[in-house]
Amino acid sequence: MNGTEFAAALADASEFGALAERYRRELHLHCYRMLGSFDDAEDLLQETFFRGWRARASQAQASPRAWMYRIATNACLDFLRRNARRAYVRQGERTQFVEAPWMQPYPDALLDQIGPTEAEPDAVAVKRESIELAFLTAIQLLPPRQRAALLLCDVLEWSAAEVAASLDTSVAAVNSALQRARATLERQRARRQLDSAQRTDPTQEQRALLRKYIEASERSDIEALVALVHEDVLNTMPPHPVFIEGRDAMRSALLEAFGPEGMGDWRCIATAANRQLAAACYVRKPGATEFRVFAIDVLRFDGERIVEITTFFPGSGLGAFGLPAVLT
């Protein structure tokens, strides 16, 4: 390679690097929606950039954003073909819910980096309903291509023709996939009463509930915690096949954590994930001198009660939250 060719290659790499950086966070979020896993989305983002670099000569045929989304979507579809996953509906005593063991949380601090700005007025906005855990878990029931069609049409607001071009299929096939995907999602909304899910920023009352949740946890006050939850509260703990349903079951579970033979002393930090309020929980075991991170509890509200708690443990993408590993 002569000097001119080397300079051109450097310019090419710099241009592509700027393009990749421009769309990095929103493409990562798209992969996360497709896969449900923060860590897998990181891997597929790198795969997207690798494929994009190899195919950069074709970029002139489409808008940069649409071109990158096409690559990311197909990279995710290939991943899902190689790594078959099966979400399923579990029947509890009071309700039905979807279980997807690979689900991980997405920090609000990173979501805040996405959205239109003066420099990027056409950037993709993060719609609250498209990032809540209940929605993301429910769409894991969809076959991958139905999931892709739903996200591209209903979240990114692409036309059926644009989605057909991205997925190398027909408009009729896209419309059929959308119809089936929307029907499945509506059934899940009805089963879990997701129409009552929060669609606006957390209210002052809900923030007060989070403070009470944290204070009661730090006091190991079981009855105060039980008083904050709905009678049909559901607590899931992906990837573990464990769920706690109803106040009585929660009281029994809390007794193991906070009772006389419990795990130790507790401290909590308010945080947020998937546009939902959350508490990062730390425990100081008997004889220890430090509080070590134990889990993040992501809360969903219905009126003045906590209706759902999704508990994520270390190893479930918690590193992205930037939380301290220990408290003293």
The predicted-structure confidence for 265-278, as pLDDT tens digits, reads as follows 999 999 999 999 99
pLDDT at 3 over 70: no
Around Cβ 55, how many Cβ atoms within 10 Å? 12
Residue 282's pLDDT band, with cuts at 50, 70 and 90, is very high
Q: Are 133 and 300 in contact (CB under 8 A)?
A: yes
Give the distance, in angstroms, between the CA of residue 80 and the centroid of all CA atoms in the same chain.
17
pLDDT at 201 over 90: no
Q: Where are the domains of the chain?
A: 1-84, 204-327
Mean pLDDT of the chain: 89
| Structure tokens that stand for 262 in this block | 């419990």
In whole angstroms, give the CA distance from residue 66 to residue 84: 27
Mean of pLDDT values over 280-294? 94
pLDDT tens per residue across span 32-79: 999 999 999 999 999 999 999 888 877 665 688 899 999 999 999 999
In whole angstroms, give the CA distance from residue 293 to residue 269: 10
CATH number of the 1-84 domain: 1.10.1740.10
Around Cβ 74, how many Cβ atoms within 10 Å? 17
Q: Are 236 and 312 in contact (CB under 8 A)?
A: no
Domain 204-327 in CATH 2.40.128.130? The answer is no
| Structure tokens that stand for 16 in this block | 């592509």
| Structure tokens that stand for 218 in this block | 């730090």
Residue 285's pLDDT band, with cuts at 50, 70 and 90, is very high
Preceding amide of 241 cis, omega within 30 = no
Q: What is residue 115's predicted lDDT score, i.e. its pLDDT? A: 75
pLDDT at 164 over 50: yes
| Structure tokens that stand for 86 in this block | 């099966």
Q: Are 230 and 236 in contact (CB under 8 A)?
A: no
Q: What is residue 94's predicted lDDT score, i.e. its pLDDT? A: 78
